[in-house]
Structure formats: C-alpha cells, structure tokens
A = this chain, B = another copy of it.
Amino acid sequence: MTYCAAIRLKEGMVFASDTRTNAGVDHISTFRKLYQYGVEGERFMVLQTAGSLATSQAVFNKLQSDINLRSELSLNTVSSLFDGAQMVGECMRNVMANAQRVANDTNSGTFTSSFLLGGQIKGQPPELYMIYPEGNCIRATRDTPFFQLGESKYGKPILDRSVRYDTNVNHAAQALMLSFDSTIHSNLSVGMPIDFVIYENDSLTLPKGRRIEEDDEYFKTISRHWSAALRNTLIELPECPNDYWE
C-alpha cells in the first residue's frame, strides 16, 4: 500500500509520499513514489502515485522519457497544470489498457493507479490535481485544500482538523508529518522513509526536498511532542458528570 498527500495553501504547497510497497507481507520494498519535474524560473511540478507500482513506474518512465527526448509535448512543455494532469491521465490509461490486453485480464482493478500532480507554471496560479484511475481529474480549491491517496483514513482526521487554505506552510508540513506518523503507527503497509517537498508559491524554484528517514531527529521530536500532548490532553479532559454513564 501507500500513503501520499499534497496540500495547496495560500503561501505554498506541501507534498509527501511514503516509500513502502508490498505484494503480500513477505515482499516489502522501498520505492520512490514522488517525482519532481520543472525548469528553474519557469515551471515546477511534483507527481505522486498510489496503486499498482508497475503501472505507476511505467507512467513515470514515459513522462521522463518524453522530457529527455525533448518531445514536443511533455511535462516541460504543457501550457497549463490542467494539460499536465490530462497528459498523466492519458498516459496511465494507455499503460493500464496495454497491461490488461497483454495479461488477458478483464478485472479492471488489477493494474490501477492514481496520481496527484501539483505545481506552478510562470504567470499562472499554483494548482493541484487528483487524477483518477479513469484518467479524469479534479482540482484542489480553497474549500478543499488537500488531497490524499492510498491508506488515507488514519491520517485524515488530523488534516481535517488543522489544515485550511490559509494555514501557514510550516504548520501544514508539521500536520502532514504527524498525519504520516499516525498512519505508520496504525498500518504496517505504510513505512518510512517519507519523501517531502515544500514549495513557496511564485518562487518557481525547484526545491531539493527531504527524504525523512527513520532516525530523523526532528521527525522523532515532533512525534514525541505530539504523543505526549495527546496523552496529557486525554488525562486533563473534563471529568464526566456523576450520573453521566448511569
């Protein structure tokens, strides 16, 4: 499984993907599931994925090869993020259809992937898209500033409670780290390291991003703080009225 999420805020964007893949519990590996594209000063994009690793990697390969070959149409040339999302969707549909044809598999779920594409092109606003296995997509708005893929439920409450469109970028990044921490605690199929990228709107720079490893001191620090604060909060909750439970 996978957990990944992306947030589009007033002042910036935050992207994070775990790196665990598994085919059964005895075939667990680490794979990058977040890739960055762009041209310094001109465009910046992050593409994240969940689902069939074979489909996802084929899509990443095709998109990268289009860039390397300087094709007329690639993520480095599309005129809008929306066109980029369409390109990813079409590429995924082709890969899936081909895999199903070759395998003679009529189960439409077998080769399914989903993607998040976020970023900014010079002169345009920052945008974030969720691309469905069917190839169509939706865009994040002020009302719905974040998208998640994969094992998203464990880590959703903390984002629901703490992330709004005008949330500070660093606070949103911390909330997302804790969202991953909760998910990793509760579900074996999501694991460290986590690939993080933080983008400042209109900077049009390509941030290096950070791979947060298991021994990351800052991650461990805020995880400890969070656990301790939750425990203390629970202990200090108002006592229930005497006749409450009866």
Contacts and interface: CB of A to CB of B under 8 A. Distances in A.
A157 B170 contact: no
Interface string A146-181: 000001011111101110000000110111001000
Interface string A169-199: 0110111001000110111000000001010
A17 to B, nearest CB: 15
A151 B162 CA distance: 21
Given A233-B226, A238-B222, A239-B170, A209 B246 contact: yes
* Chain A interface, DSSP helix/strand/loop, else mixed: helix
A185 B18 CA distance: 25
Given A151-B153, A156-B186, A229-B233, 11 more contacts: A158-B230, A161-B230, A162-B234, A171-B234, A174-B237, A196-B245, A207-B246, A209-B245, A218-B241, A218-B244, A233-B233
A227 interface: yes
A101 interface: no
Contacts of A241: 218
A210 interface: yes
Contact of A221 (B221, B235, B238): B238
